[in-house]
Amino acid sequence: MPTTKHLLTSVELARFVARGFLRLDGVVPPELNEEAIATLSTGIPAVPYGTPLAEAFPQNTFIPRLLTVPAVAGALESLVGPDPTVDHHAVHVREPHEGSAQDLHADAIIDVRPDAFDVQLMYYPHEVTPDMGGTLSVPGSHLRHVNETDIGRVQNLRGQTRLTCPAGTVVLVHHGIWHGGRRNDTARRRYMYKIRFNPTVPQVRLWDTSDLHDPAVTAELGASFPWYEQATARLEIHNRVLLWRALTGDDTFDIDHWVTRVSNRPALRSHA
């Protein structure tokens, strides 16, 4: 992914850390969307876990072209760095008038890494309307660790989002976000293509850091969401601060002294 012109800003990266996702609306050109729909209709062969991205897909297929769309390539490099590996990929199809929805869940087993994360790319090659079963996600849920479908009994949460988008939209999500596909109430198939990327380099200052000290960074990291409980919401921001410290290499960053006060361990001093 040889791009540095479309790296995320610090404000955008902070928004991802707070919300757990980043939308790139309509960035994929129409001709590539048309090719993608034809390809997704026939299926795509599996890729072994841990395959380097450069070796995962034939160069004459739509996937490498999708991943080199400048906005997509720059965002991926900002989040997972150069040369990630492919964890897995899948074609998700919602059939016409499909009468069921997917349970709310987080992908894979509980993942407690505090200083690293995988990124899942979700690509929608055609317009997704409100009744097409777009992906539901819960902003700000990604740092609250759950094991797969442990949250499947939850039907709705205040502030959840049900994706509607123009054709050629890419959504990049933190591996821990709570999400689920909704049912398709239209007469048309709904396609979504997903790839999960594993970083191979430390995820430290991979983005455009020229605005690192913009006050808007702290404002993004301090955002709250309607489903948060009053007390537990502070833990969500606490965890964001820890992740931001890891991503920036700055172990002094804080919001309202919340991490500093609970990690303060003054060295013993001699009184002699």
For the chain, how many residues are written?
272
Task: Please list, in sequence order, all residues whose beta carbon lies within 8 angstroms of the beta carbon of residue 80, skipping any fewer than 6 positions away.
Answer: 118, 119, 197, 198, 199, 203, 206
For residue 247, pLDDT beyond 60? yes
pLDDT score at 268: 66
For residue 272, pLDDT beyond 80? no
Spell out a b/e string for 234-264, using b for 16 or more CB atoms within 10 Å of the CB, else e: eebbbbbbbbbbbbbeeeebbbeebbeeeee
pLDDT score at 129: 95
Q: Closest Cα partner for 197 from 115, 249, 103, 122?
A: 122
Question: For residue 144, what are its two tokens?
Answer: 């609250």
For residue 102, pLDDT beyond 60? yes
Partnered with residue 85 across adjacent β-strands are 52, 198
**pLDDT band at residue 2 under the 50/70/90 scheme:** very low
Q: Closest Cα partner for 28 from 20, 17, 18, 40?
A: 40
pLDDT score at 1: 39
Q: What is the pLDDT of residues 131-144, one digit of tens each?
A: 998 899 999 999 99
For residue 37, pLDDT beyond 50? yes
Question: For residue 67, what are its two tokens?
Answer: 């991943």
Mean pLDDT of the chain: 93
Domain locations in the chain as residue ranges: 10-198
**pLDDT band at residue 99 under the 50/70/90 scheme:** confident
**pLDDT band at residue 59 under the 50/70/90 scheme:** confident
For residue 5, pLDDT beyond 80? no
Measured distance CA(87)–CA(80) in Å, rounded: 13
For residue 43, pLDDT beyond 90? no
pLDDT score at 3: 42
- For domain 10-198, give its CATH number from 3.40.50.150, 2.40.30.10, 3.90.1150.10, 2.60.120.620: 2.60.120.620
Q: CA torsion 163→165→171→177, rounded to 10°?
A: -10
pTM as predicted? 0.93
The count of other CB atoms within 10 Å of the CB of residue 207 is: 25
Question: For residue 73, what are its two tokens?
Answer: 């390539």
Measured distance CA(137)–CA(160) in Å, rounded: 6
Mean pLDDT across the stretch 226-253? 94
